Chains A and B, each alone.
Chain A
Amino acid sequence: MPCIKPLEKCDSAIYVYDGSFHGFLCCVYERFYSEVMPVDIVASDDEPITLYAVHTVLTNAEKAERVLASISEKISPEARHLIETVFLSCLKQKELLMLNFLLRGYREGRRILSKLGDPDVAPLLKAQKHLLGESHLLKGFIRFSDYDGSLAATITPKNFILPFIASHFTQRFSNENLLIFDKTHKAALVYQNRRMEIISVDNIEFPPISEEEGRYQAMWKRFYATVSIQARENLRCRMTLMPKRYWENMLEVQDLC
C-alpha cells in the first residue's frame, strides 16, 4: 500500500469496525485522516488474535455519507454501486480490496471501472458477478411452504442476497405474505400487507406442515423424479448447474444430500 506520509511516522494496524456499511466507509475516511495505515480491515465479530496493533474505527454516519458521496463524485455512480454490492458479498478480505480499489479510483477517476483486467478491479467485479449469480440461482431454487396461507422458505446462501431478490418476489407474489429466512446471515425478508422489510433474526422455528401442503410437496417430488430421463443420466452436469450446497433447502433433492 502506498504510504502518503513519511515512512517513520507511519504506524500500521488492523482496523476493526462494527461490520456495517457505514462502518466500512468510516474506515476509508480513517485511512485518509489518521496517522495509522491499515494492514487489514475486519469486522468486530471476527476480530483476529494478532501481533499487529488494533485500531478501532468508530462509526459516524456523517463521515460515512461524506465518503459515499465522494465515490459518486470523484469516481462514478457505477463505482458506488459496485462498492455497495461487493460489501454484501462473501469475498475474502473484501474491505481491504475495496479500499485499494477506492484509492486507485480517487487517483484515476471513472476510467478505473473500464480496467476490467486490472488486479485491483477484477476481483471486485468477480465478487459482484458471484453475488448476482447466486441471487439469480436462488430466484429459482427457493422453495416456499404454505403455512395457513402465508409462504415461508429458508435459504443458506454464501452472499447476503436478500436485498437483491426482494423486488423479484414481492412483485411476483404481491398479494401473498412472504417470509424468507437467511440462516447464514441470520436475517429475514418479511413481506406483509404489501410492506417489505429485511430484519435480523437469530432463528425461526416453522410449525409442522398441513396435510394439503404435504400433498403438493409429494406431487412436486413425484414430478421431479418422473421428468428425468434415465437414458440421459448425467449427475455431474446436474451438480455443476445446481451446486450441492443448495440442496438442503430444496424439497426434491434434500433426501439425496
Chain B
Amino acid sequence: MELMNKLTILTDGAKYDAACTSSGSDRPGSTVAAGICHSFTSDGRCISLLKVLMSNNCIYNCKYCVNSASSDVPRATFTPDELAELTTQFYRRNYIEGLFLSSGVVKNPDHTMELMINALAILRHRHNFWGYIHAKTIPGASSELVHSLGLLVDRLSVNIELPSEKSLTLLAPNKTKDSILAPMQQIKNELAENTHALSKYKNAPTFASAGQATQMIIGATEDTDHRIITLASALYKKYSLKRVFYSAYIPVMENSLLPAVASPPPLLREHRLYQADFLMRQYEFASDEILSEDAPNLNPYLDPKCNWAINNMHFFPIDVNTASMRDLLRVPGIGPTSARRIVVARREGRLGFDELKRIGVVLKRAKYFILTKDSTAGLRLGKDLTARALIDPKIFAFGAEQLSLFDGSPIPKLNKALPHIVETHSISDAVEEAVLCLASNL
C-alpha cells in the first residue's frame, strides 16, 4: 500500500486520542520544556506530535472504538522503517516536535509492543532522532516490554479509558482494571528508580523522562464529574501522573449502550473538566473543594473557580496588598502569573485597579472579590448578582445544545434537568435561563 494511504488510515484511527503535548522533557537542544505547538487543527487542538497508530488491525472489540475488530474501516500497518523515515523527515522540516505512537492490538499485546519498540529503536538509534516521543503501552503486554519501551521514549502512557470499572467491563470487555493499573504502577516505580539512578550515575539510561500520563473518555457512560475528578485526583497522587487527559466521546460506533452516532460530543463538559483539573494541579485546590457527593456535576454556567468563589463568599473580599499567594490564587481572574506579579509589585507601593489591570489581572471577574488601594470596602453585591456577573460568556459560543449534554450522561432522558435551554435562541434569553438555573442551585 502507498505510504500516503497508510498515513491517512493510521492518522484517522489515532485522532481521537486527546494527548498531544510535548512538554515536560528538558533535553537541551532537542526539546523545549514548555512544549511547542507546530500547528492547530480546525477544531483548535494543538498539533505538536505526529499522532499515528502503528497499526489499526485490532483484535479487541471495545464498543466505543473506531478501530475495533468488528468495525468496517480500511486497515493498515506501518513498517518500522516507514514510520521512522516519515517521523525524521517531518521533524527536520519543523512540522512536528516528535512522535505520538499508539496502536491497535495486532495478534496479541506483546507482538504489538515489539513492533512499536522496533520502530522506535530504528528512529532513535539509526536515525539519531532526538525529538520527543510519547508512546502508549498496550494493556496486557509483559513488563519487560514496558521497560524497553520506557527506555526509548520521553513519555509513556496507559489509557485508563473509562472512569469506572463497571463502564470498562461494559464497553471494553477485553481490557481489565488490572491490565491498565499494573503497567501504571510499574512505570511509576521505574520512574522513581530512574531518578535515583540518575542522581548517582550521570550516564544511567533515562526512562520516560517526561513522566506518564493517561486519558479517559467522558460522556460515553453515566459516570459523574465527581467520580471523574476524584479518580483523576487519586491518579495524580497514587501514580504520580503528569497529566490526565479528558476526551469528549464522539459517537463513531452504533451501539445501544452508547450515545447515538449523530449526537454531539460533550465539549463544554470536557472544557469544565480541564478547568477543574487545572485547579487541582496549579491552584492548590483539593478535589472535594471542587465537587461533592451532593453536587456531583460541574456547573455549566460558571467555571469551577467562580463556582467555588460564589459558594464561599465568606472567604472574600481579600486584600491584594496583603493576601498570601495561596489566597490570591483563589480569586477568580487571578492566575499563577498575575499572583506572582502582584507579590512582586506590591513591595513597591500599594496596588489599585489601574496597576492590577496593567499587571494582567482580569478585573471583570476579580473586582467582586478583592480590596485594593482605591476600593477598601469592596464591591459587595451578594451571591445572586455576583453569579449573574460571572456567567461564562464562552457557554454561548459552545451553543445551547452543549448545556443539555451536561448531566453526566449522553442519554437524552437527562435533558430534563435543563428542559428549556435547548429551545433558547437569543443570548439574552440564555443569560436569563442561566441566572434562573443558578439561583435555584445556590
Measured CB to CB, the residues of A under 8 A from B are: 111, 114-119, 122, 136-137, 139-146, 151, 153, 168, 171-174, 176, 216, 218-220, 222-224, 226-229, 231-238, 240-242, 250, 252-253
Also in contact, A176 and B39, with CB within 8 A (given A116-B344, A117-B354, A227-B15) = no
Q: List 25 A-B contacts (CB under 8 A).
A: A114-B347, A114-B348, A115-B345, A117-B354, A117-B355, A136-B36, A140-B39, A140-B48, A143-B95, A144-B94, A146-B92, A172-B29, A216-B90, A218-B4, A219-B4, A220-B93, A223-B7, A223-B50, A227-B14, A231-B250, A231-B265, A232-B45, A232-B265, A233-B43, A236-B397
Number of chain B residues whose Cβ lies closer than 8 Å to a Cβ of chain A: 56
Q: A168-B32, A227-B11 are in contact. List 11 more A-B contacts (CB 8 A).
A: A111-B348, A115-B345, A116-B344, A141-B38, A153-B94, A219-B90, A222-B7, A224-B41, A229-B43, A234-B44, A250-B39
Q: Give the shortest distance, in Å, between A130 (CB) and chain B (any CB).
A: 13
Q: Give the shortest distance, in Å, between A60 (CB) and chain B (any CB).
A: 35
Chain A contacts for B279, CB-based, 8 A: none
Q: How far is the CA of A64 from the CA of B339 in the complex (A)?
A: 37
Chain B contacts for A142, CB-based, 8 A: 94
Q: How far is the CA of A151 from the CA of B4 in the complex (A)?
A: 23
Q: Does B296 contact A (CB under 8 A)?
A: no
Q: Give the shortest distance, in Å, between B64 (CB) and chain A (any CB).
A: 14
Chain A contacts for B15, CB-based, 8 A: 226-229
Also in contact, A140 and B4, with CB within 8 A (given A122-B359, A226-B12) = no
Closest to B89 in A: A216
Q: Does B349 contact A (CB under 8 A)?
A: yes
Please tell me if the beta carbons of A232 and B267 are within 8 angstroms of each other in the complex: yes
Q: Does B356 contact A (CB under 8 A)?
A: yes
Q: Give the shortest distance, in Å, between B215 (CB) and chain A (any CB).
A: 15
Interface set, chain B 346-389, CB cutoff 8 A to A: 347-349, 351, 354-359
Please tell me if the beta carbons of B41 and A227 are within 8 angstroms of each other in the complex: yes
Chain B contacts for A140, CB-based, 8 A: 36-39, 48, 94, 97
Please pick, from A114, A153, A222, A231, the residue contacting B4 in the complex, using a CB distance under 8 A. A222
Please tell me if the beta carbons of A231 and B264 are within 8 angstroms of each other in the complex: yes
Please tell me if the beta carbons of B43 and A234 are within 8 angstroms of each other in the complex: yes
Chain A contacts for B358, CB-based, 8 A: 116-119, 122
Interface centre among A140, A224, A237 (most CB of B within 10 A): A140
Q: Does B51 contact A (CB under 8 A)?
A: yes
Please pick, from A173, A174, A235, the residue contacting B42 in the complex, using a CB distance under 8 A. A235
Closest to A213 in B: B93
Q: How far is the CA of A219 from the CA of B337 in the complex (A)?
A: 39
Please tell me if the beta carbons of B345 and A171 are within 8 angstroms of each other in the complex: no
Q: Give the shortest distance, in Å, between A89 (CB) and chain B (any CB).
A: 17
Please tell me if the beta carbons of B94 and A241 are within 8 angstroms of each other in the complex: no
Q: Give the shortest distance, in Å, between B370 (CB) and chain A (any CB).
A: 14
Chain B contacts for A253, CB-based, 8 A: 39
Q: Does B422 contact A (CB under 8 A)?
A: no
> A-side binding surface: helix, strand, loop or mixed?
helix
Please tell me if the beta carbons of B344 and A241 are within 8 angstroms of each other in the complex: no
Q: How far is the CA of A236 from the CA of B250 in the complex (A)?
A: 20
Please pick, from B3, B34, B94, B349, the residue contacting A143 in the complex, using a CB distance under 8 A. B94
Please tell me if the beta carbons of B250 and A114 are within 8 angstroms of each other in the complex: no
Q: How far is the CA of A143 from the CA of B47 in the complex (A)?
A: 14
Q: How far is the CA of A118 from the CA of B4 in the complex (A)?
A: 56
Q: How far is the CA of A222 from the CA of B89 in the complex (A)?
A: 15
Q: Give the shortest distance, in Å, between B246 (CB) and chain A (any CB).
A: 13
Please tell me if the beta carbons of B355 and A242 are within 8 angstroms of each other in the complex: no
Chain B contacts for A222, CB-based, 8 A: 4, 7-8, 11
Please tell me if the beta carbons of B12 and A151 are within 8 angstroms of each other in the complex: no
Please tell me if the beta carbons of A216 and B93 are within 8 angstroms of each other in the complex: yes
Q: How far is the CA of A195 from the CA of B37 in the complex (A)?
A: 27
Closest to A173 in B: B92
Chain A contacts for B41, CB-based, 8 A: 224, 227-229, 238
Please tell me if the beta carbons of B95 and A220 are within 8 angstroms of each other in the complex: yes
Closest to A145 in B: B93
Please tell me if the beta carbons of B95 and A227 are within 8 angstroms of each other in the complex: no
The 8 closest A-B pairs by CB, nearest first: A117-B355, A237-B44, A171-B29, A232-B43, A122-B358, A228-B41, A116-B345, A140-B38
Please pick, from A174, A227, A229, the residue contacting B47 in the complex, using a CB distance under 8 A. A227
Chain A contacts for B29, CB-based, 8 A: 171-172, 174
Closest to B265 in A: A231
Q: How far is the CA of A137 from the CA of B89 in the complex (A)?
A: 21
Closest to A126 in B: B358
Q: Does B46 contact A (CB under 8 A)?
A: yes
Chain A contacts for B14, CB-based, 8 A: 227
Please tell me if the beta carbons of B43 and A228 are within 8 angstroms of each other in the complex: yes
Closest to A153 in B: B94
Please tell me if the beta carbons of A232 and B28 are within 8 angstroms of each other in the complex: no
Q: How far is the CA of A234 from the CA of B132 in the complex (A)?
A: 27
Q: How far is the CA of A176 from the CA of B44 in the complex (A)?
A: 32
Q: Does B276 contact A (CB under 8 A)?
A: no
Q: Does B311 contact A (CB under 8 A)?
A: no
Please tell me if the beta carbons of A114 and B345 are within 8 angstroms of each other in the complex: yes
Q: Give the shortest distance, in Å, between B262 (CB) and chain A (any CB).
A: 9
Q: Give the shortest distance, in Å, between B392 (CB) and chain A (any CB).
A: 15
Interface set, chain B 87-127, CB cutoff 8 A to A: 89-90, 92-95, 97
